[in-house]
Amino acid sequence: MSTVMERAPSELSPERAPAAPKRSPLNRRTILRTIGLTVLTAFVLTMPYDMNWAGSAFALDYGVIIGMVVLSVSVLGWIGEFTLAVVAQMGFGLVVVNLLQNAGMPFLIIIPVVILSSIPISILLGVFALRLRGVYFAIATLAFGYMAQKTFFQSYLGVQGGFGGTDSKAISRPAGFQGSESFYYLLMGSLLLMALICWAVNKSWIGTSLTALRESEAAFSVLGHSPGAYKMFTICLSGAIATVAGAYFGMLQGLVPSNYFQPALAVLYFGFAVAGGMGSVGGACVAGIAFGAIPKYFDSLSEGKLVGYDQFFIGVVALAVVLWAPGGFAYIGRRIWHRLEGSPPAAPEVSTFEIDVRDPLAAAAAAGAETPDGAEA
């Protein structure tokens, strides 16, 4: 555990390192950032213990995994799509882990294999993404997820024995991470690594290209950039994250009934991603952890009495986000930070959430910008 504690700050720091020019070493911004970084690091490291009053660290483990799933959904926002197949991809990750563990593979081999194994399915979904957009793509992924759950998980493989059973061997956690607390550090480390990769990708020219692709696919392609390649890359990235999340989910739970992988759950995770801010890395992590862990803590606090409330409250939060902060937690967080820092407000907020190509308002604005015909008469 101590090694993890030493490692975690260094994982954090590249993401936190301020890229803006520093004028004076001790201005308000630097101080705030140092304090924030310290508090955040301390919080991330002690989170299982901070929350012990409310429930076991298990809830947090669960939240971090949901954070990964939501990150996977959110990443797809970069190409302006949303997927309902993440849950199916999770399921495949779980199956792969089960197979590999039965074959006696160690953890360090399992995870890379899981990542590789996600690629064929991502490519299958990617083929749809090349042909379909927005809602249509979502429906395609929905149909895929539905088939995966019903046909693959339930009927053939009977993942963990169908409905909550024990037909096949339970998935075990990697050696050294048996406890919920220690497993948390593995999960949090993985999530931070994923977030870091996503953040770096988004900051690189790939991210710029994806923004351009989202803004105008036609212009993007006539400029000689292949939208397909970028879409495929993003879908593979998203799929790999979801699949690894599924693998961890299997390790966390040991036994997972196949009815867990129902597409309706993907709708829920999409809701989380929206609340976090579609396309945002940090927002997705926070939303995932919060919406994943809070209901679990709530379960233990209410001792099984106030069940089913979580969905209602997530619905309320999502509605509030859509109405007042379409950018999600990411946008709210940015606003708060700017106020704290005292820096000028950011450029006019453009919602990163654009799933639909059919946008009458935008079209009307564009049409209004053109002159009516007949001027040449």
Residue 109 found at the interface with other proteins (CB under 8 A): no
Which residue lies nearer to other proteins by CB, 113 or 301?
Answer: 301
Residue 52 found at the interface with other proteins (CB under 8 A): yes
Give the integer Cα–Cα distance in Å for 249 and 159. 13
Nearest CA-CA partner of 83 in 235, 285, 289, 248 = 235
Contacting other proteins within 247-276 (CB under 8 A): 253-257, 259-260, 262-264, 267-268, 270-271, 274
Which residue lies nearer to other proteins by CB, 107 or 269?
Answer: 269
- Piece of 93-101, 104-112, 240-248, 295-303 that binds other proteins (CB under 8 A): 295-303
Residue 81 found at the interface with other proteins (CB under 8 A): no
Please name the residues in contact with 82: beta carbons below 8 A apart, sequence gap of 6 or more. 73, 76, 134, 137, 138, 270, 273, 278, 355
Residue 329 found at the interface with other proteins (CB under 8 A): yes
- Piece of 101-109, 110-118, 233-241, 355-363 that binds other proteins (CB under 8 A): 355-363
Member of 164, 176, 193, 342 binding other proteins (CB under 8 A): 164
- CB of residue 107 vs other proteins: minimum separation in angstroms? 19
- CB of residue 290 vs other proteins: minimum separation in angstroms? 8
Which residue lies nearer to other proteins by CB, 46 or 109?
Answer: 46
Residue 128 found at the interface with other proteins (CB under 8 A): yes
Per-residue buried b or exposed e for 58-69, using 16+ beta carbons within 10 Å of the residue's own CB: bbbbbbbbbbbb
- CB of residue 112 vs other proteins: minimum separation in angstroms? 25
Do 258 and 149 form a contact (C-beta atoms < 8 A)?
yes
Which residue lies nearer to other proteins by CB, 6 or 50?
Answer: 50
Nearest CA-CA partner of 16 in 37, 31, 41 = 37
- CB of residue 26 vs other proteins: minimum separation in angstroms? 18
Member of 290, 292, 325, 342 binding other proteins (CB under 8 A): 290
Give the DSSP per-residue string, 42-82.
HHHHHHHHHTTTTS-HHHHHHHHHHHHHHHHHHHHGGGT--
- Piece of 99-107, 114-122, 165-173, 231-239 that binds other proteins (CB under 8 A): 165-173
Residue 27 found at the interface with other proteins (CB under 8 A): no
Give the integer Cα–Cα distance in Å for 72 and 294. 20
Member of 21, 24, 25, 175 binding other proteins (CB under 8 A): 21
Give the integer Cα–Cα distance in Å for 244 and 195. 13
Residue 298 found at the interface with other proteins (CB under 8 A): no
Give the integer Cα–Cα distance in Å for 82 and 58. 29
Which residue lies nearer to other proteins by CB, 115 or 281?
Answer: 281
Which residue lies nearer to other proteins by CB, 119 or 322?
Answer: 322
Residue 28 found at the interface with other proteins (CB under 8 A): no
Which residue lies nearer to other proteins by CB, 50 or 116?
Answer: 50
Give the integer Cα–Cα distance in Å for 222 and 360. 24
Which residue lies nearer to other proteins by CB, 25 or 344?
Answer: 344
Which residue lies nearer to other proteins by CB, 23 or 108?
Answer: 23
Residue 357 found at the interface with other proteins (CB under 8 A): yes
Token representation of residue 7: 């490692």
Token representation of residue 308: 């089913």
Contacting other proteins within 193-212 (CB under 8 A): 195, 199-200, 202-203, 205, 207-209, 211-212
- CB of residue 151 vs other proteins: minimum separation in angstroms? 3
